[in-house]
Amino acid sequence: MSDAELEGRVVWVTGASRGLGRHVALALADAGAKLLLTARSSDQLEQLAQEIRTHGGVVEVVAGSVADADVIERSAALIGERFGHLDILINNAGISPAFVTSERLAKSAWQDVLDVNLSAPLACCQHALPLLENAGGGSIVNITSIHGSRAHERLIAYAASKGGLEMVTRTLALEWATRAIHVNAIAPGYLETDMTAGLREHERWRETLLTRIPMHRFGTTSEVVPAVLFLAGPGASYITGTTLYIDGGWTAA
């Protein structure tokens, strides 16, 4: 996909302050997109926005968790006021704070994960819909996980939330296809990001994970960003309801 295909497009990226979200935002800015970025880490978000503006990019930010309905409402309102429409929504925000066996998982931890990883992306899609319709259609890319379809011990909340988001993706793809809105998901495996650092740095779990990856290495954000941009852009206009796995060939049951 050429940069010209994203030039001037209005894109909303959640969880943009670090990891995959940050690299997606930078790639979109380099391609000439106009951005609305949200994230909980306000300092990192402002630093990213300043970096983009320094290079001539157009960016607005809303700091706060997407689990907060007000953050989603303010983000959608700002897009409408600043740009008048939306071309692309990338639901990237996600958390995985609990790595415990299922019987030890606290109800509050379960709810926190589902609020951010499942309920918030749906709410973002609902608020994005009229803005996408103002553009005559557009694209939604939901970042799920390899564990949305393949189980892993001690990750029941995370896996349930990501599996739910895959079904949200398929359902919206069916419901919104006639509105020229295509909805797809990308399911990365283990990337070299802050979220996976604890497992990657733990000797036993690191080896357990690597034995399940035929490529025997963790992925990088640079290996996922091009796929996000492809599904977000016009080159994927006849693709909807699809989940693209970028996982090194993960083989776990």
Pairwise CA distance, residues 142 & 125, whole Å = 10
Residue 54, φ and ψ in degrees, nearest 5: -60, -30
CB atoms within 10 A of CB 7: 11
Look at residue 65 and give its three-state secondary structure. coil
Decide: 209 and 199 in contact? Cβ < 8 Å: yes
What positions carry a catalytic annotation? 158
Residue 232, φ and ψ in degrees, nearest 5: -75, -25
Decide: 247 and 186 in contact? Cβ < 8 Å: no
